[in-house]
Amino acid sequence: MTERIVLAYSGGLDTSVAIGWIAEETGAEVVAVAVDVGQGGEDLDTIRKRALDCGAVEAVVTDAREEFADQYCLPALQANALYMDRYPLVSALSRPVIVKHLVEAAKYHGATTVSHGCTGKGNDQVRFEVGIGALAPDLKVIAPVRDFAWTREKAIAWAHDRNLPIDQTKSSPYSVDQNVWGRAVETGFLEDIWNAPIEDVYSYTDNPAEPRDPDEVVVTFDRGVPVAIDGETVTVLQAVQQLNRRAGAHGIGRLDMVEDRLVGIKSREVYEAPGAIALITAHQELESVTVERDLARFKRQVEQRWSELVYDGLWFSPLKDALDTFVAKTQEHVSGEIRMTLHAGRAVPTGRRSEASLYDFNLATYDEGDTFDQSLAKGFVQLWGLPSKIAAKRDQHRHA
């Protein structure tokens, strides 16, 4: 039986060329696997036909948008995942779901090797290969662009020589990766970090400086899961999609940052994640009402580490799995409603309501009805500051 190689297929130039190139170089049959995580563009049937026309013996196309939202975006939302306190892990979240489908296809089709189109300078090579190694340690991996120094010029020439049915001359000044959780843009003039992004960079968001009326939205959560928008029941995918449109119309979720890549270099990235940023803002606000203080403080540490693990390609690691259990526990009481105003690039919470609220009006008020016993505060302050006071006295004596 001829050896088979499963290729992560996007439908673009590089992976279309990779089908024939891998077949010629290895003698193996290529099975193309395309996973829809909400990246838009061409429909799955068109992508499947192109893969077959480019020489794939099989083309597997999967609509994984619901799966991606429920099993990958939702955990990120509950972890308030923001790498370097800013980036909502747009690309990083999609890689493990693609890896899962690649491994499943490899097992089904009897493949011994998996291939991807990543370069050697990015994070995605790590996310793909570490993920594959965690789910199927016996699978081998080849990366033509990285391992054989493929350039766009080489790919265009290769496609032209073999009359491949793809657009061989279309070029973009940017490298774009997008899914339902957001959009990532890099390269081109953005590589000069003094250059400001221009409006042509953006697709998911409108210019926040343009005048428009504010949009008020109410997001309902049940145990950390967004279940309704303005009282209308939604799935997680629908919640993200609706807020992508509504928050995006106000320019919410634009990020321009220099981030620390796993491979050790700094990279300038421009992101758009209107739905993700709006939902994380609402979720954080509801947690401030429903999660106990010490648990909330520790969870913030967990959130940072969780984000780093996912960014670094360790979605399937034991530590990530253990942190998932902790995060899930913290969501037991995260139920209620958050009202936000969407306007001028910001999602601003203006109202909070929850039956699980830890906010006690009678304890918090300074007006009549106050039930807080202020007579207890004096002793509390004295005991709370006692260690510092003792240390200060010691230091005064030592320096006297």
pLDDT in tens, 122-166: 899 999 999 999 999 999 999 988 887 777 777 778 787 877 776
Least confident of 257-266, 288-297, 358-367: 358-367
- The confidence score (pLDDT) of residue 96 equals 98
Asked about 14 being catalytic, the answer comes back as yes
Q: 4-170 and 176-291+333-353 share one CATH topology?
A: no
Q: Which of 53, 146, 175, 346 is catalytic?
A: 175
> Is 202 part of any known ligand binding site?
no
Q: Is 288 assigned to a binding site?
A: no
Residue 171: its pLDDT value, please?
61
Is 127 a known ligand-binding residue? yes
- 394 annotated as a binding-site residue: no
| CATH T-level fold of 4-170 | Rossmann fold (3.40.50)
Catalytic pick among 124, 183, 312, 335: 124
- The token pair at 123 is 């994070």
pTM, entire model: 0.94
Q: How confident is the model at residue 170 (pLDDT cuts 50, 70, 90)?
A: low
Q: What percentage of the chain carries pLDDT values higher than 90?
A: 79
What span, in angstroms and rounded, lies between the C-alpha atoms of 246 and 347? 10
Q: What is the DSSP string of 255-322?
A: EEEEEE-TTS-EEEEEEE-HHHHHHHHHHHHHHHHHS-HHHHHHHHHHHHHHHHHHHTT-TTSHHHHH
pLDDT at 169: 52
Average pLDDT of the chain?
93
CB-based contact 152:170 (threshold 8 Å): no
Considering the candidates 48, 65, 95, 254, report the single residue annotated as catalytic: 95
DSSP code, position 76? H
Residue 272, both tokens: 């758009």
Of the residues 4, 14, 115, 183, only one is catalytic, namely 14
124 is catalytic: yes
User: Where exactly are the structural domains of the chain?
Assistant: 4-170, 176-291+333-353
Is the pLDDT reported for residue 316 higher than 80? yes
Active site residue 367: no
State yes or no: 119 annotated in a binding site: yes
CATH number for region 176-291+333-353:
3.90.1260.10
Q: Is 80 labelled as part of a ligand binding site?
A: no
Q: What is the dihedral of CA 132, 133, 136, 140, to 10 degrees?
A: 80
Residue 175 assigned as binding residue: yes
Q: Is 27 left (phi over 0), alpha (psi -120 to 50) or beta?
A: left
